[in-house]
Amino acid sequence: MRRALPDVLPWAIALTASTIAGILLLTNAELDARFSLATPSGHFYIVSPVALISVVIGVGAVFAAQRTANLRVLLLALSFLSMASIFAVHGLATPGFILDARAFGVTGFSSRLALLVAAVFLGLSAVPWPAHIEAALVRWRMAVIGGWIAILAAFTGVALLAPESLPPRVVTSDGFQNAATLIVIALSLAASARYFQGYRRTTRPLFGAVALGSLLLVEAQVSMHYGAVWGGTFWLYHVQLLAGFTAIFWGLVTEYSRGDSWLDAIGRLGEGNLVAQLQSGYSESIVGLAAALEARDGYTIGHGRRVGALSVLIGKEMGFSDGRLRALAQGALLHDVGKIGIPDAILHKPGDLTAEEFEVIKEHPVRGHEILGSSFGTDIEQSVVRHHHEKWDGTGYPDGLAGEAIPLEARVVAVADVYDALRSARAYRKAWDRDRAVALIQQDAGVHFDPLCVGAFILVVDEWEAEFAEDDALYQERRAAA
């Protein structure tokens, strides 16, 4: 499975370098003074790329917010638009361009305000929201974006045309500066943690890029707050901001180079659901095999995805790491991939199978393991495909493994596979209701299934059922159309 680490590794190195530089400059006044450079034009030209990159990302996020109807994407759009607009004021207010030195307070105030507002929206995108508030904001998302753009435009006009109208106590207040610093650090760290978790689950470079960008925002805030104007730290915070937003932009470029549109890539950032995040991180090879399987066997439409979702919920309940959950999800998606090689007459037979035909069906775990090979996925995915029909008492196939000799991930998928099969309609029987299917799973604990996996399943089955009805309705609709 392809890892995204090489895509974000250069930016991780940049983060480390900026951290070291910040520590050296903040702890050594003589060194900080050595890099002092009072050049307003240089300031203007380093601020402009930050604002421009923020505009590009912000516009993309606005279109993604309009299309995806996701609150997190909406808040990301507001974050980048705020950074672009207010930081542009910071650059334009550089003494000697539009404003003279008497309005220098606007320059400092706008830089702190840009980081503060951007961090607030970035942090808000990383926390869960009450459902009714989220629904209302999403419903009126374009009005929210339009209203906020109007506010940003009003601030820009006031700051550049009437800078003296900004309250001096606010512009130069130590209280404002200290509070802004604490808020930016706290919210940016929260955002970084959330998007880094998304990166671990999906391996998508854009998740990692936003996590790194958030950390660089923290470092920029610290450098700005504690550094002297025109000193080395002053210039460092501008470089840190430029690196942070360039990293996010590069994440978008990397996603695009893999065949994804910018809108899709930004839209995925809004995924807060564990299962959805993991599914968005499926590799191209995994997705291609899943598509081939669904084209081969109409009955598997949605089955692999649903088994993957239930397996992930069980795995999470059992304490699996994000990386292990990702491999579990992909293995579950492809657990029946060996059916690609089963003859149509057997695979699509509407009635009971003969003993000989069932022996052919029983070959699909080994066939799938061979199809997956060493070039697809990890040992976890391969073990799920090969061993999801093993039984706790050793009477399963293909290898007759028993108990803990069966890989744990395969034991998890065995529960999810049988439960989804029971809950789905087939040509030869109707779908079982929830209680009947759960009762069978419980009955077979210690015989067919690992009792620990069954225990975890009981705790999460209702959460899975909340999504199952809609997914199964789509499954039945597509079956009827076929």
Domain containing residue 121: CATH number: 1.20.1070
Q: Are 281 and 249 members of one domain?
A: no
Domain of 194, in residue numbers: 5-269
Q: Are 239 and 339 members of one domain?
A: no
**Burial level of 69, CB count in 10 A (0-12/13-18/19+)?**
middle
Phi, psi of 376 (to 5 degrees): -120, 125
**Max mean pLDDT range (20-34, 169-183, 458-472):** 20-34
The pLDDT tens digits of the residues spanning 60-81 come to 999 999 888 889 999 999 999 9
Q: Based on the structure, what is the number of domains in the chain?
A: 2
Contact assessment for residue 114 and residue 83, using Cβ atoms and an 8 Å cutoff: yes
Contact assessment for residue 331 and residue 380, using Cβ atoms and an 8 Å cutoff: yes
Q: Are 321 and 260 members of one domain?
A: no
Whole-angstrom distance, CA of residue 307 vs CA of residue 325 = 13
Contacts of 360 (CB under 8 A, 6+ apart): 342, 343, 346
The tokens describing 76, both together, are: 């990301």
Q: Are 373 and 305 members of one domain?
A: yes
Contact assessment for residue 319 and residue 269, using Cβ atoms and an 8 Å cutoff: no
Q: Are 265 and 281 members of one domain?
A: no
Whole-angstrom distance, CA of residue 290 vs CA of residue 251 = 26
Q: Are 178 and 89 members of one domain?
A: yes
User: For the chain, what's the residue count?
Assistant: 482
pLDDT of residue 245: 93
Which of 269, 300, 317 terminates a domain? The answer is: 269
Q: Considering only 62-71, 97-106, 222-231, 332-341, which range has the smallest mean pLDDT? A: 97-106
pLDDT surpasses 60 at 470: no
Q: Are 293 and 260 members of one domain?
A: no
Closest CA to 79 of 217, 201, 231: 217
Which of 269, 292, 307 terminates a domain? The answer is: 269
Q: What is the mean pLDDT of residues 241-269?
A: 87
CATH (domain of 439):
1.10.3210.10
Q: Please tell me whether the overall predicted TM-score, pTM, comes out greater than 0.85 for this model.
A: no
Contacts of 397 (CB under 8 A, 6+ apart): 362, 365, 389, 390
Q: Are 70 and 19 members of one domain?
A: yes
The pLDDT tens digits of the residues spanning 376-409 come to 666 888 999 999 999 999 999 999 999 999 999 9
Q: Are 300 and 247 members of one domain?
A: no
Q: Considering only 112-126, 218-232, 355-369, which range has the smallest mean pLDDT? A: 355-369
Q: Are 404 and 459 members of one domain?
A: yes
Which of 269, 302, 332 terminates a domain? The answer is: 269
Q: Are 395 and 248 members of one domain?
A: no
Q: Are 149 and 29 members of one domain?
A: yes
Whole-angstrom distance, CA of residue 441 vs CA of residue 422 = 10
Using pLDDT thresholds of 50, 70 and 90, give the confidence band for residue 192.
very high
